């Protein structure tokens, strides 16, 4: 629409897909994601061996599975990154519809694997967590709705996106999955802010969120138990948080040495939710800072590119994808160092898990596609050309 109003810079006609993709992709963000996957495989070699031993499997059983999941995720990411925004929007809407139906079916066909939350669909040889795939689809869907509100005579897309998001948040909270529900609400709030929502309205939504937290604390034993554990001044050293905290302290700056860590033998979720504790213990603060820098590279460079984007849909959906990717990493690491209550959230591309790594690949592929360089020029340059 903006191109219709202001025009666009010339496009290279007939350029092959791969050279065009390589010329326009954010190579720094792509490299950071590939490095994160490499770090995940490195940590998987250490963290998943005890799990395989406890389950009577070969030592590198879970490492091999993660390599397969990672290969699928990287293929999905690269394939997604080659699409144009219109194709991303179409696939995002279709993916949202499929994941939405799967989440609706969880009370009937879902399982909790003994973790107290019905989040997975078991297929025997593997399990799927639909909420992981719901996130990128919902961001694309709500970004499209909000962008439609910018059109002259367009629908009230912001209101529609709010109703849809609230419904999804309630669905996730009933599993219960308060971590994913919070992440979804945060991504929508950021997009809503970027679309031009007033601060007063966002403050009201924040107040409603806090009220919802009080309600969940009083009526959900699962939620209350995690909050009480977080607020407790004493940390039981035999809990996952206790083991993780001790491992991070033991690691220091340079770690205790490759393969010398002990926390992976004590933590049931050392390969998933608490993978950063394994990194901190064996490789020290140095590796943890490198991991943080890689996530920051993806988020900051993506947001910087999006500030120059004129298309409302690209700007809104890209912002939601970038912020949800970064905040998920912050939540995972924040839980490990006891800055946040336990939420059962994985570290993107680093933690073990098929649904997590594949969904992250899809989301980052969409983000890379939306942040590719396009022949649109700066708004000021286009206005100057039109006024000549």
pLDDT of residue 2: 44
- C-alpha–C-alpha distance, residues 229 and 245, integer Å: 14
Q: What share of the chain is helix, strand, coil (3-state, %, to 5)?
A: 70, 0, 30
pLDDT tens for residues 81-126?
Answer: 999 999 999 999 999 999 999 999 888 888 877 666 788 888 777 7
Name which of 304, 311, 381, 365 is nearest 81 in CA terms: 365
What is the gyration radius of the CA atoms in the chain, in angstroms? 22
Return the higher-pLDDT residue of 233 and 2: 233
pLDDT of residue 227: 66
- Look at 61-65, 117-121, 144-148, 201-205 and tell me which has the smallest mean pLDDT: 201-205
Please check the confidence at residue 3 and state whether its pLDDT lies above 60.
no
- C-alpha–C-alpha distance, residues 118 and 327, integer Å: 23
pTM attached to this predicted model? 0.86
Cβ of 161: how many Cβ atoms within 10 Å? Answer: 25
DSSP string, 302-354: HHHHHTT---HHHHHHHHHHHHHHHHHHHHHHHHHTTSS-------TTTS--H
- C-alpha–C-alpha distance, residues 141 and 293, integer Å: 30
- C-alpha–C-alpha distance, residues 353 and 120, integer Å: 12
- pLDDT band for position 379 (cuts 50, 70, 90): very low
- pLDDT band for position 236 (cuts 50, 70, 90): low
- C-alpha–C-alpha distance, residues 67 and 97, integer Å: 28
pLDDT tens for residues 203-223?
Answer: 777 777 777 777 766 766 666
What is the rounded average pLDDT for all residues in the chain?
83
pLDDT tens for residues 329-365?
Answer: 999 998 888 777 777 788 999 998 888 999 999 999 9
pLDDT of residue 9: 43
């Amino acid at each position: 629409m903006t191109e219709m109003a202001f025009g666009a810079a010339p496009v290279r006609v007939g350029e092959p897909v791969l050279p065009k993709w390589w010329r326009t992709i954010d190579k720094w963000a792509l490299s950071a994601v590939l490095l994160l996957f490499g770090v995940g495989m490195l940590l998987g070699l250490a963290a998943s061996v005890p799990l395989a031993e406890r389950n009577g499997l070969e030592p590198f059983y879970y490492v091999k599975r993660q390599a397969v999941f990672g290969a699928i995720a990287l293929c999905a990411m690269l394939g997604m990154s080659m699409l144009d925004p219109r194709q991303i929007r179409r696939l995002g809407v279709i993916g949202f519809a499929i994941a939405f139906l799967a989440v609706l079916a969880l009370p009937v066909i879902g399982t909790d694997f003994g973790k107290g939350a019905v989040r997975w669909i078991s297929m025997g040889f593997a399990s799927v967590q639909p909420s992981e795939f719901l996130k990128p689809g919902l961001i694309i869907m709500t970004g499209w709705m909000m962008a439609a509100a910018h059109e002259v005579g367009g629908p009230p897309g912001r209101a529609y996106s709010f109703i849809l998001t609230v419904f999804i948040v309630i669905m996730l909270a009933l599993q219960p999955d308060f971590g994913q529900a919070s992440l979804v609400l945060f991504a929508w709030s950021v997009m809503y802010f970027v679309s031009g929502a007033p601060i007063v309205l966002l403050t009201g939504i924040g107040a409603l969120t806090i009220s919802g937290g009080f309600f969940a604390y009083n009526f959900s034993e699962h939620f209350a138990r995690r909050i009480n554990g977080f607020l407790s001044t004493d940390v039981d050293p035999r809990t996952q948080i206790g083991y993780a905290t001790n491992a991070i302290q033991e690691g220091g700056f340079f770690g205790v040495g490759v393969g010398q860590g002990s926390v992976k033998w004590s933590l049931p979720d050392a390969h998933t939710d608490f993978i950063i504790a394994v990194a901190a213990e064996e490789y020290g603060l140095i590796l943890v800072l490198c991991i943080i820098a890689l996530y920051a590279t993806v988020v900051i460079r993506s947001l910087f590119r999006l500030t120059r984007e004129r298309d409302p849909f690209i700007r809104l959906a890209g912002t939601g994808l970038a912020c949800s990717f970064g905040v998920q990493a912050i939540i995972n690491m924040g839980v490990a160092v006891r800055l946040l209550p336990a939420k059962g959230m994985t570290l993107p591309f680093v933690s073990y898990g098929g649904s997590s790594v594949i969904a992250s690949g899809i989301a980052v592929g969409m983000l890379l596609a939306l942040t590719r360089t396009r022949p649109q020029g700066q708004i000021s340059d286009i206005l100057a050309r039109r006024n000549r």
